[in-house]
Amino acid sequence: MREMSRRKALGAGLGVMAAGVASCGIKPNAASTSQPAKVGEGIPDTPKEKVGKPIGDGSTAYTGKQPNQPDGPVPLEPGQAPPQFVVFSWDGAGEVGNGLFPRFLKLAEELDARMTFFLSGLYLLPESKKRIYQPPNNDVGASDIGYLADDHIKETLRHIHQAWLDGHEIGTHFNGHFCAGSGSVGNWTSAQWRDEIRQAKSFVQQWRTNTGWTDLPPLPFDYDKELVGGRTPCLLGQDNLLPVARELGWRYDASSPGGQQVWPVKKQGVWDLPLQAMPFPGHSFEVLSMDYNILANQSVNSTQAPPANYPRWRQQATEAYLGGFKRAYETNRAPFFVGNHFEQWNGGIYMDAVEEAMKQMADKEDVRLVSFRQFVDWLDVQKPEVLAQLRSLGVGQRPAGGWTSLTDVD
């Protein structure tokens, strides 16, 4: 696991953070205005037992429409307040035996929430086959995150399989997570991003060939169609990635650092959905809405700080998430984006903070805990004039004349 390679202040006080965000890896051995369907209520033509039509070598399969999706999005009615969208996303999305992946799948089921899992393609490639990976500007088989043990690859496959059936989105976190030096993703050309994406998809689409395993069912989706967005390692390299994303038909990118809590815009034809600055209790600066950035400001990048700090830091992290949520919910209703990792940093306090924050957000009126894909589904059916009005609201700014004056447009 690579921790943040360098630090800087981002803007007028986002606190200490990386040039983007690092440590998105895992140690290998350690929407709409309608509520989504309840998890577990699979649609009739896609029962969980159905294998579906194999694709390629049978690593994936077409099983029909994804279950547990919200009703089709509709435009806002004149004068209607927008829902408060919250997107929880997970970088890497590998299971290493700490039980965090199933823990949050279970929590999502309890809260009727959907999330986005940015799967690192390398987490489905056995280390014994690492030379299959040819990362741009790096040695063959190199990676700045560890390859997973075989048992953990199997667990990751099982949880990704379940996540999709539960209605969650499977995006990409690419592969080797290079954040420093000449091989950093920040230096990659568009052609190199295209090759990295090709490989990331192949590791998902050909895990059966690469592992030789026949005891697991195929992933129940066509990744060519499922993959519509991603987040780059350390939030680096977006400018050269976007032309490729647009060419591939991706609908959004979540790689931009230092975003604000305002309604999003498209960049190079792709929805730009950045992590955002949110209030940081006890400080005059704000912090980026990702677990590692909170950690960086609490323990100066240490993932095993003295335990005496944990209760205070856990509460501070919880209040940071809730503060960002409340600021949007009570004012401009801008979507709130939160990034996470399946890690037990500083005793697992950030996982506890995310869980508590999700629980408190979920019971509020007109709140939608959705995936990025579901959110852009909603954006894409809104009137451009309404979205322009929503974007006119600054951070923490309420519509002066109420929502009627803002969204009632011709």
For residue range 152-167, what is the model confidence (pLDDT) as tens digits? 999 999 999 999 999 9
The Cβ of residue 401 has, within 10 Å, a number of other Cβ atoms equal to 9
Instruction: Look at residue 232 and give its three-state secondary structure.
Output: coil
Cβ atoms within 10 Å, residue 311: 11
The confidence score (pLDDT) of residue 408 equals 80
Q: What is the β-pairing status of strands 277-279 and 286-288?
A: antiparallel
pLDDT at 50: 55
Q: What is the band of 14 on the pLDDT scale with cuts at 50, 70, 90? A: very low
> Is pLDDT at 92 greater than 70 in this prediction?
yes
Determine which of 11-15, 122-126, 210-214, 345-349 has the lowest per-residue pLDDT on average. 11-15
Task: List, for residues 316-330, the tens digit of each pLDDT value.
Answer: 999 999 999 999 999
Q: Which CATH class is domain 8-407?
A: alpha beta
Integer angstrom CA distances of residue 261 from 277, 289, 304, 325, 379 = 7, 10, 31, 9, 16
Helix or strand (DSSP H, E) at 53: strand 53-55
- Identity of residue 288: L
At residue 352, the 3 state secondary structure works out as helix
Least confident range from 24-33, 48-57, 313-322, 386-395: namely 24-33
Helix (H, G, I), strand (E, B) or coil at 116: strand
Q: How confident is the model at residue 29 (pLDDT cuts 50, 70, 90)?
A: very low
Residue 18 has pLDDT above 90, yes or no: no
Give the three-state DSSP class for 129. Answer: helix
Q: In the structure encoding, which two tokens stand for residue 354, read together?
A: 């995310």
Query: Do 199 and 133 form a contact (C-beta atoms < 8 A)?
Result: yes
The H-assigned helical ranges of 61-134 are 100-111
> What percentage of the chain exceeds 90 in pLDDT?
85
Residue range 221-260, pLDDT digits in tens = 999 999 999 999 999 999 999 999 999 999 999 999 889 9
Which residue shows structure tokens 């590692």?
292
DSSP per residue, 248-303: TT--EE---SSB-SS---EETTEEE---BEEE-TT-SSEEESBHHHHHHHHHTT-S
Output DSSP code: residue 40: T
CB–CB of 238/256 below 8 Å?
A: yes
Q: What is the mean pLDDT of residues 61-74?
A: 96
Res. 43: pLDDT tops 90: no
Domain boundaries, the chain: 8-407
* Least confident piece of the model among 2-11, 37-46, 146-155, 175-184: 2-11
How many Cα atoms sit within 13 Å of 6 on the Cβ side?
Answer: 8
Taking alpha carbons only, the member of 100, 128, 111 closest to residue 35 is 111
The CA distances from residue 370 to 17, 109, 285, 311, 373, in Å, are 26, 12, 28, 29, 8
Q: Which helix (H) or strand (E) holds 153?
A: helix 150-165
How far is residue 315's CA from residue 153's CA, in Å, rounded to a whole number? 33
Instruction: State yes or no: pLDDT of 51 exceeds 80.
Output: no
pLDDT averaged over every residue in the chain: 89
Nearest to 356 by CA among 338, 330, 383, 374: 338
**What span, in angstroms and rounded, lies between the C-alpha atoms of 81 and 170?**
29
CB 262 within 8 A of CB 394: yes
Please give the helix or strand (H or E) that residue 203 lies within, else none.
helix 190-205
Phi, psi of 172 (to 5 degrees): -135, 145
Is residue 277 within 8 Å of residue 290, measured between CB atoms? Answer: no
Q: Are 64 and 93 in contact (CB under 8 A)?
A: no
Give the length of the chain.
410
> What pLDDT, on a 0 to 100 scale, did the predictor assign at position 405?
83
Q: How far apart are CA 213 and CA 201, in angstroms?
A: 18
Confidence check: pLDDT of 38 > 70:
no
